[in-house]
Amino acid sequence: GWCPLSPEGAQTTQLLVEPPWKPPVLWDRVTLTCQGLGTAGASTWYKDGQRWGQQERDTVSVTTKGTYQCDRPGSGCSLTLKLSEDWLVLQVQARLLLEGDTVTLRCRG
């Protein structure tokens, strides 16, 4: 079922999105990469809170809307990422933003 808790509350597994914009939209041909500690190819994927069929791969192509998460042995679960099929979306670059950073937004439809 659900993605297990990270060891000692540490959240070191990263869920990377390509193209690198959030929120991701289905019509962008989205690829997700699970990055963290542990053995390459040992990712466990979750869609809408349940184990998802794309097992043991670090990178997956996503073709349906939903909420995605991945788990890496030794570093735990990533944060969730919601993939929508909205026709109009305001996106921001999918990277860590700090106060004072210049932010690029794009409105797409």
Q: Name the DSSP class of 74.
A: T
What would the mean pLDDT of 75-101 be, rounded to a whole number?
Answer: 86
User: What are the pLDDT digits (tens) for 15-68?
Assistant: 899 999 888 888 888 999 998 876 777 788 999 989 987 667 889 999 899 999
14-108 in CATH: which number?
Answer: 2.60.40.10
- pLDDT reading at 11 higher than 80: no
Identify which of 77, 78, 45, 75 has the alpha carbon closest to the alpha carbon of residue 60: 45
Q: How many CA atoms lie within 13 A of 69 on its CB side?
A: 21
What is residue 109's predicted lDDT score, i.e. its pLDDT?
Answer: 83
Q: How many CA atoms lie within 13 A of 90 on its CB side?
A: 3
